Amino acid sequence: MNKIEIFKGNENGKSGIGIKVKDDNATLADLLAAWQPLCDDSNIYKLYGDNHFAVCKGCNTNCCNTAYVIPDIISFKKMADHKNLDHKSFISAFFDREKVKAGLLRMQPDPCVFLEENICTIYPCRSLICRFYVCTDILGTAEQLIYSLAWTGITALQVFAEENDLIDTDSKAGLSSFDLMFKKLIEEYRYKPQVKLFLAADNYEDIPLKPFLA
């Protein structure tokens, strides 16, 4: 039996993609494995895709050109390892320096620093934000689960960075209202017990979904 079911359905009058967790032992890795095929599903309406039903691979819109990416702690560590860099050097080489100085770990954008000829060069270790992104409607409960997982992982990275003196935690210089909103979200998640799950994890297989389910 599959631990996760991804389905097209309706919720509160809205149609979209839903998530059903069918096994109490399901992990974030199980959810990502079930979610990934949506990118290549030509039966799913995609707002920015060619003719709205094209697969994501080869998409000319390529949302990575303008994406605002703050990685989760697991992807952050894997990307640094992939580049054979310690965490401090990785941040220095690939993150927006002004945002880092102001205490926010945003990767260099416009386009994403890891995008080359419209191809992601770190695809196997990309962040949760990137893994879950698909330009289609998502049902509210599914969206909340994804949102909670992504922001918990991002907050865990923030805590890890602060504890290891990787960023300035005081300055607000150089932050837009958009940036400040993200910092507020991190503060909202900071003391959630699920953050400790991400801090202790090496892989997405180590993150159980049950603590994130309403």
pLDDT, one tens digit per residue, over 119-130 is 889 999 999 999
The yes-or-no verdict on residue 71 having pLDDT over 90 is yes
Among 120, 133, 111, 115, which residue's Cα sits nearest to residue 66?
111
Pick from 111, 102, 17: nearest CA to 68: 111
For residue 11, give every residue at least 6 positions away whose Cβ sits within 8 Å of its Cβ, in sequence order, or none: 18, 139, 140, 141
Residue 185's domain comprises 4-212
Q: How many domains does the chain have?
A: 1
Whether pLDDT at 137 is above 80: yes
List, for residues 144-190, the tens digit of each pLDDT value. 999 999 999 999 999 999 999 998 766 667 788 888 999 999 999 99
Which of the four pLDDT bands, split at 50, 70 and 90, describes residue 101? confident
pLDDT digits (tens, 9 = 90+) for 24-67: 999 999 999 999 999 888 888 888 877 888 787 777 777 888 88
pLDDT at 133: 92
79 within 8 A of 42, measured Cβ to Cβ:
no
